[in-house]
Structure 1
Amino acid sequence: MPFSIQLHSARLFPPVTDHLPRLAALGYTNVEPTDSLYGDPAALRESLDESDLTALSGHFPLHLLEDDPDAACRIAETLGMRLVVCPFVPAEARPAATDDWRRFGDRLAAIAHLLRSRGFDFAWHNHDYEFRPLRDGSMPIQHIAADPAVHLEVDIAWIALAGMDPQPWLEGYAGRIAAVHVKDVAPRGSRADEDGWADVGTGIVPWPKLWKAAIAAGASLLIAEHDNPSDFDRFARRSIDAMRAFAAMTNGEPAAR
Structure 2
Amino acid sequence: MTYPTAYQLYSSRNFPPLEAQLPELKAMGYDAIEPWLPAYEADPAAFRRALDDAGLGCMGFHMPLKGLVEDTQRFIDIALTLGAQVMIPPYVAAEEREPTPDYWRSVGNRLARGAEAAARHGLSVAWHNHDFEYHLLPDGSRPIDHILGVSDLVKFEIDCGWIVRGGADPAAELERYADRIVAIQLKDTAPLGTREEDGWTATGDGIIDWTALAPLMRRTGATHIVAEHDNPADWRRFASRSIDHMRALGLAAPRRDAA
Report the TM-score when normalising by structure 2.
0.92
**Number of residue-to-residue matches in the alignment:** 249
Unpaired runs of at least 5, structure 2: 254-259
Equivalent residue letter for 1:60: M
Identical aligned residues as a percent: 45
Aligned counterpart, 1:18: 20
Q: Is 1:37 aligned to residue 33 of structure 2? A: no
The Cα shift of 1:74 comes to 0.9
Residues in 1 aligned to 2:178 and 2:62: alpha-carbon distance in whole angstroms: 22
The Cα shift of 1:36 comes to 1.2
**1:193-245 residue CA offsets vs partner (Å, 9 max, x unmatched):** 30000111110011122122122112111100000000001101101100000
Residues in 2 aligned to 1:113 and 1:37: alpha-carbon distance in whole angstroms: 26
Q: In structure 1, which of residues 157, 161, 178 is the aligned counterpart of residue 161 of structure 2?
A: 157
- CA RMSD for the aligned pairs? 1.5
Higher relative contact order structure (alpha carbons within 8 Å, sequence separation ≥ 6): 2
8 Å CA contact 1:95–1:104 kept in 2: the answer is: no
Q: In structure 2, which of residues 190, 194, 200 is the aligned counterpart of residue 186 of structure 1?
A: 190
1:1-257 map, 5 Å = 1-38=3-40, 39-146=42-149, 147-190=151-194, 192-247=195-250
Equivalent residue letter for 1:2: P
Pick which of 108-117 and 152-161 moved more: 108-117
Equivalent residue letter for 1:13: F
The Cα shift of 1:189 comes to 4.6
The Cα shift of 1:87 comes to 0.7
Give secondary structure in 2 for the equivalent of 1:216: coil
Divergent runs of 4+, >6 A: none
Give secondary structure in 2 for the equivalent of 1:37: coil
Residues in 1 aligned to 2:188 and 2:29: alpha-carbon distance in whole angstroms: 20
Residues in 2 aligned to 1:10 and 1:247: alpha-carbon distance in whole angstroms: 25
Residues in 1 aligned to 2:102 and 2:29: alpha-carbon distance in whole angstroms: 45
The Cα shift of 1:187 comes to 2.4
**1:16-43 residue CA offsets vs partner (Å, 9 max, x unmatched):** 1110000001111111001111211111
Residues in 2 aligned to 1:182 and 1:40: alpha-carbon distance in whole angstroms: 29
Residues in 2 aligned to 1:210 and 1:40: alpha-carbon distance in whole angstroms: 38
